[in-house]
């Protein structure tokens, strides 16, 4: 797993001043599996990523649900206009927590999509609670793909994520993200990313990817 590099770095087994060069050849963002963390990106870029992932899922005849802890009006409007699903988007309370009734909706809605393509759960700054983590663990075991937009590098908890998608960030944030992924990617690679691109990290794979577009 990618996090073994972070452990090695902490033990002084990896040169933390260097990073694996990121391949410059662009590839489309692959199909996601398991639990995916997303770090970086402006508010608009985060909203666009959520909507484009949701549209890609719907075009593949899959079920999608977005829980929005940032309560971004741009995200909500695009979900309502482009997906038109009555339960495809839920704005969470100001606390950012997913209350029990939202957890029940997520379990019911996503479980109905399991016989087809793996359902997709999109989480934007959803606050962690023990009850919500148990819900996520159940959904993962059932085969649901979970994509979480994190707000801080410290939320990249060891052992929780097999896959990380890095979006462009300022230099200070890029430094923190580079450390969080065990220096697999240099800060410069992160803060010089062009719009519409990201760095995809899965196991030993580190590659620049083209993010899906809303109108693809």
Q: How far apart are CA 60 and CA 74, in angstroms?
A: 24
88-143, pLDDT tens digit by residue? 999 999 999 999 999 999 999 998 888 778 999 999 999 999 999 999 999 999 99
3: left (phi over 0), alpha (psi -120 to 50) or beta: alpha
Q: How far apart are CA 29 and CA 66, in angstroms?
A: 19
Q: How far apart are CA 175 and CA 32, in angstroms?
A: 25
154-193, pLDDT tens digit by residue? 999 878 998 999 999 999 999 999 999 999 999 999 999 9
Entry pTM? 0.88
Domains of the chain, earliest start first: 3-7+18-210 (3.40.50.300)
Q: Is residue 8 pLDDT above 60, yes or no?
A: no
CA angle 34, 102, 73 (to 5 degrees): 90
The whole-number pLDDT of residue 53 equals 96
């Amino acid at each position: 797993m990618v996090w073994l590099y972070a452990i090695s770095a902490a033990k002084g087994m990896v040169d933390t001043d260097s990073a694996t060069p990121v391949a410059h050849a662009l590839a489309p963002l692959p199909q996601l599996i398991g639990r995916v963390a997303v770090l970086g990106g402006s508010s608009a870029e985060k909203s666009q990523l959520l909507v484009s992932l949701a549209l890609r899922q719907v075009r593949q005849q899959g079920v999608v649900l977005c829980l929005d802890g940032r309560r971004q009006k741009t995200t909500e409007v695009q979900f309502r206009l482009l997906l038109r699903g009555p339960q495809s988007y839920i704005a969470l309370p100001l606390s950012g927590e997913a209350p029990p009734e939202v957890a029940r909706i997520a379990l019911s809605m996503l479980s109905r999509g399991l016989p087809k393509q793996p359902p997709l759960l999109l989480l934007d700054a959803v606050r962690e609670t023990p009850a919500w983590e148990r819900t996520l663990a159940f959904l993962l075991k059932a085969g649901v793909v979970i994509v979480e937009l994190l707000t801080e590098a410290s939320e990249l908890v060891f052992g929780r994520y097999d896959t990380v998608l890095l979006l462009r960030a300022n230099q200070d944030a890029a430094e923190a993200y580079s450390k969080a992924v065990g220096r697999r990617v240099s800060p410069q690679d992160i803060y010089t990313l062009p719009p519409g691109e990201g760095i995809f990290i899965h196991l030993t794979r580190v590659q620049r990817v083209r993010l899906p577009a809303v109108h693809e």
